[in-house]
A and B are shown apart, each in its own frame.
Chain A
């Protein structure tokens, strides 16, 4: 008789409902179940809660982001006023740099980041925006844009990661800050991507990956994650605290690099943004700013020797 009853209840799906109910009333929650009580000592023992309350409570996260962003903007204004932008001839040949899929993936990532960074900063300064509907909308857009970025992350990484590996001439590039401190046009030691672009690439992909992971941890909040908890040796609530800390600090770095990226493409090198729209880079720009890539293309016979060989020196 009991067996029959058992099968009847199985058939009516009572067990499934029960599981759902237990989930819903947080019966097995690691944050709100027993965790409510057993997590109290972790609040005092390890430093995550203290660090988080200290930094967030005193507004250090927001200050860090604000100072970094303002410093970058001031530096750019200074650079634009003192050194000024670089102009390259648009009337000579063009070199095909990015195929249509690369450009499309970049576009998806670009849209995502242009939403992610401002909404993130608005959330950091939520009080100044009065909270409520507007900041909540930003929070939701932040989540939606993450999906776009996650879609573009893997192809972007796959397309470019080999060319983004560090090379010895990157050090030279860094010592001369990419030649951006002078208006002199002479070939700069850089491959298809210079050391600055490489740094940005790693921040955007590896940093972006950690931003997605920590953001997702905070978004889903309460879930059984024994793997994460055991590898890190942390309770669920401490995982969340750590995520918030990492997300805030790394987020400031992402915001800074995005601004640098936009400044370079739009202001510092006039018209260079067209390379990622049309796929073609100006021949002079490639010759000067990506000299080793020019030499590589020349060696492969993909381009003819440039007229700029006579005009400028040549890097060995």
Chain B
């Protein structure tokens, strides 16, 4: 196992519910309307002191539960811990969604009788199993910005830099430095270290 581990972290004290990340994602990957890979949610709206917003997509878990339950084994986890899947193998059964703590897997309803199509989820802008940066890869999985050496769209677009993405120790260091500097913290939404899949 490589020591590089990519992850997302959303700083709850910085997220302002501007939806820049989700709009960037929808637009950049040319997603269908019924597929929302990333979404911003505000909780406790209107309750002073308790309201906060966060940006949520696939958290690219270690030993991801979606990959564990997939009956056709269409998932693969990259060296840098990005969780990807092969849409040509996927049968759209929905099991990954039941196994996911974050509601990340999406199912477009294009077919006849509105059957669930192949699952779609955040790729951390790392494309899929097709040839890197090919037309097919873009069409099926969206941009492969990682291969181009760029930051994933959502985090790149984040106005307040609440959403961080990158190598986990580096992301943690940035967040820790911020908390130390501002002397308060509501917390962060990130791949939990006590993720149940590890304990079960």
**Nearest residue, chain B, Cβ from A244:** B98
Known: A37-B43, A56-B69, A221-B116. A244 touches B56 (CB 8 A): no
Q: A139 at the A/B interface (Cβ < 8 Å)? A: yes
Task: Return the contact of A57 from the options B69, B90, B91, B102 (Cβ within 8 A).
Answer: B69
Query: Interface readout for A144-161 with B: 1 if CB under 8 Å, 0 if not?
Result: 100000000000000000
Q: Is the CB of A244 within 8 A of B95?
A: yes
- The reply to whether B34 and A221 contact each other, CB–CB distance below 8 Å, is no
| CB-defined contacts of A57 to chain B, threshold 8 Å | 65, 68-69, 99
Complex CA distance for A285 and B48, rounded to whole angstroms: 79
- Residues of chain A lying within 8 A (CB to CB) of residue B39: 26, 32-33, 36
Mask, B143-166, CB within 8 Å of A = 1, is 000000000000000000000000
A218 at the A/B interface (Cβ < 8 Å)? yes
A316 nearest CB across to chain B (Å): 54
The verdict on B123 contacting chain A, using a C-beta distance below 8 Å, is no
Answer yes or no: B129 CB below 8 A from chain A CBs.
no
Encode contact with B along A22-55: 1 for CB under 8 Å, 0 otherwise: 0011100001111111111001100001101110
A residues less than 8 Å from B200 (CB atoms)? 50, 53-54
A195: CB under 8 A from chain B? no
A132 within 8 Å of B (CB atoms): yes
Measured CB to CB, the nearest residue on chain B to A55 is: B69
With an 8 A cutoff between CB atoms, is B103 at the interface? yes
Least distance between B110 CB and chain A CB atoms (Å): 12
Interface residues of B in 91-131 (CB under 8 A from A): 91-95, 97-99, 101-104, 106-107, 113, 115-116
Closest chain A CB from B32 CB (angstroms): 9
Residues of the A chain whose Cβ atoms lie less than 8 Å from the Cβ of B98? 49, 52, 237, 240-241, 244
CB of B196 within 8 A of chain A? yes
- Which of B72, B74, B102, B107 neighbours the largest number of chain A CB atoms within 10 Å of its CB? B72
State whether A56 touches B95 (Cβ < 8 A). Answer: yes
CA separation between A215 and B113, bound complex, in Å?
Answer: 15
> If A54-B200, A240-B94 touch, does A24 touch B33 (CB 8 Å cutoff)?
yes
B residues 28-85 near A (Cβ < 8 Å) are: 33-34, 36, 39, 41, 43, 54, 56, 65, 68-74
Chain A: number of interface residues, binned into ranges: 35 or more
Asked whether A124 is an interface residue with its Cβ less than 8 Å from the other chain, the reply is yes
A126 to B72, Cβ gap below 8 A?
yes
Q: Is B89 an interface residue (CB 8 A)?
A: yes
Interface of B is mostly: loop
Tell me the bound Cα distance from A31 to B106 in angstroms: 10
Contact B72 A135, beta carbon cutoff 8 Å: yes
**Cβ-defined partner of A26 (8 Å) among B34, B56, B89:** B34
Residue A136 is within 8 A (CB to CB) of chain B in the complex = yes
Cβ-neighbour of B91 out of A34, A54, A62, A139 (below 8 A): A139
Chain A interface SS verdict (over half) = helix
Nearest neighbor of A138 in chain B, beta-carbon distance? B91
With an 8 Å Cβ cutoff, the count of chain B residues facing the other chain is 40
A166 within 8 A of B: no
Is there contact, CB below 8 Å, between A139 and B113?
no
Q: Does B3 contact A (CB under 8 A)?
A: no
Indicate if the CB atoms of B97 and A52 lie closer than 8 Å.
no
> Contact partner of A131 among B90, B97, B106, B189, CB < 8 A?
B90
Interface residues of A in 42-94 (CB under 8 A from B): 43-44, 49-50, 52-54, 56-57, 62
Taking a contact as CB atoms closer than 8 A, the residue among A26, A33, A44, A237 that contacts B196 in the complex is: A44
- B101 near A34 with CB under 8 A, answer no
For B70, what are the chain A residues with a Cβ–Cβ distance below 8 Å? 127
A147 to chain B: closest CB distance in Å? 9
Say whether A278 faces chain B, with CB atoms less than 8 Å apart: no
Given known pairs A123-B93, A221-B107, the reply for A53 and B69 (CB within 8 Å) is yes
A237 to B196 Cα, complex, angstroms = 17
B88 on interface, CB distance cutoff 8 Å: yes
The answer to whether A35 and B103 have CB atoms under 8 Å apart is yes
Asked if A127 contacts B103 (CB within 8 A), the reply is no
**Complex Cα spacing A26 to B104, Å:** 13
What 14 new A-B contacts, CB under 8 Å, besides A26-B36, A26-B39, A34-B43? A25-B33, A35-B103, A43-B196, A53-B197, A56-B68, A57-B69, A57-B99, A126-B72, A126-B73, A136-B91, A139-B93, A221-B97, A237-B98, A237-B103
User: Which A residues lie at the B interface, using CB under 8 A?
Assistant: 21, 24-26, 31-40, 43-44, 49-50, 52-54, 56-57, 62, 123-127, 129-132, 135-136, 139-140, 143-144, 218-219, 221, 237, 240-241, 244
Q: Lowest 7 A-B CB distances belong to which pairs?
A: A131-B72, A57-B68, A126-B72, A131-B89, A36-B103, A126-B71, A56-B69
